[in-house]
Amino acid sequence: MSPVINPKAFEPDTVISTRSVWGDAVWHLDDAPPGWKTADFSIIWGFAVIDGRFSDPRWAAWCTAAKTFLWSLQVDPPPGCIRIRGATLTGVFKRLRLLICWMVSESYRGFGDLDRAGADRFLEAVGRRRTRAGKPIDVRTIFTYRTLLARLDQQGVRYPAVATLEPLSGITHGWTPPMRSMLPYTPDAIAVPLVSGALRLLASPADDVIALQALAQSAQDEALAKGMSYHRSRFVVLEAIKPFRFSTLPGEAAPWQNGPVRSTKQVRFLVQRLYEACFVTISYLVGPRVSEILGLRPGCIEYRPSADGIERFAYLVGRIYKTASSSGGKVHHWPAPPAVERAVAIMEILSQPLRERSGRPELWLLSAHAGLLGPNALIQLPVTEVIINRLNRFFAPFIGLPDHAGEPWRLTTHQGRKTFARFIGKRDRTGLHALQHHLGHVSRVMTDRSYVGTDFQLDELIDQQAQEETRAALEELLTATRLAGKGGRLIASRSRFRGRTLDGDVRAYVDFLMAETDLRLGVCDWGYCVYRVESSACFGDEKGPNPALRTQSTCVSCANFAVTAKHRSVWETRRARNASLLEHPSLDPVSCELAITRIAECNRILTELDQQIEVAHE
């Protein structure tokens, strides 16, 4: 039997956190990441069992064994396992609680009564459970309970109080860890109007809302300072903001909001929509988790020169909590496009009164009051569920977010991170024109020699998305019957899969190309760049195409370039835009010649797409 690493780690006065010791009936863990509920970081040992509570004296020995098992996973984990953090500890506790409740209902009196047959019956009981939506429990959830039993068996060898009646070492035999749950990204048809709507609010509407809130808050503060009641001060506020009018955005005929403002709740409503616009902007254009966004503080934008000293890059400085070895997280720098700089500046202004009142440093502080910031307002960080609720109930309708497949798309806080990784990893960014400036900025920073990222899980997510995009593009290029561009004509003349639907042969060949060759796709917004450095017309290097020299005109003459039918609209739009330029009476000769050349390039691409390539059937 392996010796216990530290017997004193399981004595009643052992410190669990700043507020709890080992012998307490409730363990209050420290440093819950931003966005978590406090209750999510509390372990309550007095949970209900079939005939009382687990903290009752009759269960004292079993409760001690359960505490020993759970705490050992943090201070003395099984060989080959890392010490689990607070968030994981509470998750294991919830599964352990279910196991104990089931064992009590089955007349067990401790872990020492549990045999392999009992463990199998428990897993069968777990498999019969249903989610809140009435759906069967996912196989990944069942696997976590198998892992719990395996850990119980492993720790039982080292801690006699935890030992089961017989070994459970084969409980995971034949099971492989299921793939991580693939949380959905936001489809382009939703993501683009979502981010565009957020960016629209960060322009002059944000200045309007900030000015309106400052006007209303100052009027209320002055009224309260004169001895008015909070209720009467509202009338003073309404009179002060009555003349306020919202601005009209460029290209629009009317103000972006109708006036006048008739209540302090309307002021708060607009401020909250600005909060959500800033959250969406940072989440979708930078990719941090919700805890990392909610933990941002004033001055979190830093500037550093590029490796060549020509440019200056902005970075969003925050902390990563999920993979950090310490509870306070680890510092990380995310590339920040100008819109994110603007979002942070807005949040610094909006949160200043809340930070001054509460003494807390976070940017995302909210007041629980329904109107303006009152003298007794409760100020705290929102939890994740609050942000999800506001994004779906208020922000999406406010910006007119379209439906997806006939149904409202449900937004979550993690979708921004997943969608950002997909944006950066996409080889074909057709349809993302509204975001090109921001995505190009982030891509440029991430590939600069001076950039050193530490968000390795985000890097892996981007690589995964890039591989998926590359696979889909290669499958499309190999099976397309219509291809344009020099590279497209070359692929069409050599591909034996033209006109075929996706099958095992196509997928196997794509697997071979991705695994055994150095073929890769460069990011291109008007076609596919089947990148080879030796034939690159934009003079790219081993990293990929040269973004400074790569244009549509350059790609047309490049042997790497291929266009499919999905890119037709890009070239039709380009042709129409240049045709309209030719109708301008003051167009100079040089610009006229350039427009004619571009129209000819578009016509050549579109003509090639219109020519049906004969499909060779075997």
Question: What would the DSSP string read from start to end of 106-147?
Answer: TT--SGGG--HHHHHHHHHHHHT-B-TTSPBPPHHHHHHHHH
Structure token pair of residue 535: 């034939």
Single-letter amino acid, residue 107: S
Burial class (CB in 10 A: 0-12, 13-18, 19+), 208: buried
Say if residue 431's pLDDT is above 80. Answer: no
pLDDT in tens, 127-183: 899 888 788 888 888 888 988 998 998 888 888 888 888 877 655 554 555 555 456
Question: Domain boundaries in the chain?
Answer: 7-162, 188-422, 468-610
d(CA 511, CA 513): 6
Peptide bond into 353 cis (omega under 30): no
Q: Which of 89-98, 311-320, 369-378, 418-427 has the highest mean pLDDT?
A: 89-98
Which position has the token pair 């998305």? 465
**What CATH number should be reported for the domain whose range is 188-422?**
1.10.443
- Confidence check: pLDDT of 390 > 60: yes
Judge whether residue 435 has pLDDT over 80.
no
**Tokens 């920040």 appear where?**
336
Residue with tokens 């949970």: 47
- Using 50, 70 and 90 to split pLDDT, how confident is the model at 372? confident
- The residues with which 26 forms a beta bridge, in sequence order, are 44
Average pLDDT of the residues in 542-567: 84
**In contact, 183 and 131? CB cutoff 8 Å:** no
Q: Which has the minimum average pLDDT: 46-55, 251-260, 371-380? A: 371-380
- The highest-confidence range among 13-27, 353-367, 521-535, by mean pLDDT, is 353-367
Long-range CB contacts for residues 123-132, cutoff 8 Å, separation at least 24:
123/149, 126/98
Give dist(CA 29, CA 50) in Å, integer. Answer: 27
Average of per-residue pLDDT across 25-45? 85
User: How much is the average pLDDT of 265-281?
Assistant: 95
Q: Are 485 and 561 in contact (CB under 8 A)?
A: yes
| pLDDT averaged over every residue in the chain | 84
The pLDDT assigned to 433 comes to 64
pLDDT for 204 beyond 60: yes
Q: Name which of 260, 196, 95, 79 is nearest 436 in CA terms.
A: 196
What percent of the chain stands above pLDDT 90? Answer: 39
How many other β-carbons are positioned within 10 Å of the β-carbon of residue 268? 19
Q: How confident is the model at residue 615 (pLDDT cuts 50, 70, 90)?
A: very low
- Say which residue, 258 or 322, is predicted with more confidence: 258
Share of the chain above pLDDT 70, in %: 85
Phi, psi at 172, each rounded to 5°:
-105, 10
Q: Residue 328's pLDDT is what?
A: 73
Give the list of residues 6+ apart from residue 285 with CB closer than 8 angstroms, or none. Answer: 195, 337, 339, 340, 420, 435, 438, 439, 442
Predicted local distance difference test score (pLDDT) of residue 617: 40
Question: 61 and 38 in contact (C-beta within 8 Å)?
Answer: no
Ramachandran angles phi, psi of 525, nearest 5°: -95, -5
Q: Predicted confidence band at 452 (pLDDT cuts at 50, 70, 90)?
A: very low
Asked whether residue 450 carries a pLDDT value surpassing 60, the answer given is no
Calculate the alpha carbon distances from 183 to 322, 382, 412, 419, 426 in Å.
17, 22, 9, 10, 18
Of the pLDDT bands very low, low, confident and very high (cuts 50, 70, 90), residue 294 is very high
pLDDT of residue 518: 66
User: Does the pLDDT of residue 208 top 60, yes or no?
Assistant: yes
Which of the residue ranges 90-94, 178-182, 262-266, 276-280 has the most confident prediction, judged by mean pLDDT?
A: 276-280
316 contacts 288 by C-beta, under 8 angstroms? yes
Three-class secondary structure of residue 578 per DSSP? helix
Amino acid at 68: T
Select from 291, 509, 340, 560 the least CA-distant residue to 438: 340
Please name the residues in contact with 105: beta carbons below 8 A apart, sequence gap of 6 or more.
49, 50
Q: Which two tokens stand for residue 124?
A: 């069968």
Pairwise pLDDT comparison (483 vs 96), residue with the higher score: 96
Q: Which helix (DSSP H) or strand (DSSP E) does residue 572 occupy?
A: helix 568-582
Measured between alpha carbons, how far apart are the two ends of the chain, in Å? 66
Which region among 118-127, 347-356, 381-390, 606-615 has the lowest average model confidence (pLDDT)?
606-615
More confident residue, 447 or 300: 300
The pair of three-digit structure tokens given for residue 387, joined into one six-digit string: 């942000």
Higher confidence at residue 417 or residue 519?
Answer: 417
User: pLDDT per residue over 299-315, tens digit each?
Assistant: 999 998 877 777 788 88
Assign 616 a pLDDT band (cuts: 50, 70, 90).
Answer: very low
Residue 471 confidence (pLDDT) above 80: no
Pick the residue with more confidence: 185 or 59?
59
Please compute the mean of the pLDDT values over residues 93-121 and round it to a whole number: 93
Please check the confidence at residue 66 and state whether its pLDDT lies above 50.
yes
434 pLDDT tier (thresholds 50, 70, 90) = low
